Amino acid sequence: MKALILVGGYGTRLRPLTLSSPKPLVEFCNKPIVLHQIEALAKAGVKHVILAVSYKADKLEEELNIYAKQLGIKISATYESEPLGTAGPIALSKKVLQDGVITELGNDGEAIFFVLNSDIICDYPFTELLEFHKAHKKEGTIVVTKVDDPSKYGVVVFQESGQIEKFVEKPKEPVSNKINAGLYIFTHKIFDRIEVRKTSIETEVFPLMASEEQLYAFNLKGFWMDVGQPPDYLDGMCLYLNHLKNKEPSALIPKGVEIPDSVEIIGPVLLDPTCTIGENCVIGPNVAIGPDCRVDKGVRIQRSAILRGTHVKSHSWIHSSIIGWKCSVGRWSRIDNVTVMGEDVSVRDELYINGGRILPHKEIKESIPQPSIIM
């Protein structure tokens, strides 16, 4: 079985991190964002994952093929020379999706495949989604998730059976609290509805499929977040870490991590086995510290991600921020308010950074008291 992951775009919402790395390879809870999806697809029986890309395709394929060998699957890419929206990449990938396929778990002999938006983090229900799709025997299924304020979204209205009746964009009246979660499964009949041009599957394809009673909704249980921009990345990290705390607590702090007795861990906290934590630190809740990171004595970190190779010096305080690769945070510094540091940023001692977006390879010599971009 095959899956297509939509990873086009330049990752502008997640800058400055995406100035150094394609967005799908940016770590989310110590693992590339897209690898969370690929592992779940492989577990559900997918043998070939296609990446629909438009930016740094070679780097994506090269790095992800290392994981492909470990998972026993194939990863390849299709390249968009111009933006094709959310439906055009599916048409562009038609040949590779159909290549070698006769019938695979399809409806009435029709082969099927998954499609995913690459920014989505959740407890991916691919096996259950597949069973649901096979049962209703229609062309497509979209995963829907519940939101507290549906007026901010386009909502999905569907019957108890799951058959979708219509889509309503930012309803003033509460007609539904379910939105498109960015995870789909289709039969190959979808190729008759799309072509290689810029097309929105949400606004141009789905409404027509619904009007023909060919589209069903599958209810997602548990957490969900689009982590494509820093505030949502941090919200999604909190949801994911709490999910791990309940489902797989041993994955949070693996064996081999040496934590001094004077350190207080307020879970959930995710520590890579190669990171080091100094005396008298307070870490958590909702913190992910990546490989080869060094946290010196007396540091306080909460609701933040510390990426590979970063050094957090003594008595600094980090809250609600993303610290990029190979950064250095000075002694007695305070980092707050969704600050995002790109690769190789150095912050001098005793500085305050409030909501800074700091581009790679910068040395910060003065405090940043107001949210701003440091170029």
| Count of CB atoms situated within 10 Å of the CB of 83 | 12
| Count of CB atoms situated within 10 Å of the CB of 105 | 14
Tens of pLDDT, residues 171-188? 777 778 888 899 999 998
Tens of pLDDT, residues 78-120? 877 777 788 888 888 888 888 766 544 444 556 889 999 989 9
pLDDT at position 103: 46
The residues assigned a catalytic role are 170
pLDDT at position 170: 73
Token pair of 198, please? 């810029």
Tens of pLDDT, residues 218-232? 999 989 998 989 999
pLDDT at position 110: 66
**What pTM was computed for the model?**
0.90
Alpha-carbon distance 152 to 202, whole Å?
Answer: 16
Peptide bond into 150 cis (omega under 30): no
Counting every residue written for the chain, the total comes to 375
Q: Which residues of the chain have pLDDT under 70?
A: 9-11, 55-57, 100-110
Alpha-carbon distance 371 to 300, whole Å?
Answer: 21
Element holding 4 (H helix, E strand) = strand 2-6
pLDDT at position 11: 66
Q: How far is C-alpha 352 from the geometric centre of its chain's CA atoms?
A: 29
Q: Is 243 helix (H, G, I), strand (E, B) or coil?
A: helix
- In order of their start, the domains of the chain are 2-228 (3.90.550.10), 231-374 (2.160.10)
Query: Which among 269, 328, 273 has a CA at the least distance from the CA of 295?
Result: 328
pLDDT at position 101: 62
Alpha-carbon distance 366 to 350, whole Å?
Answer: 9
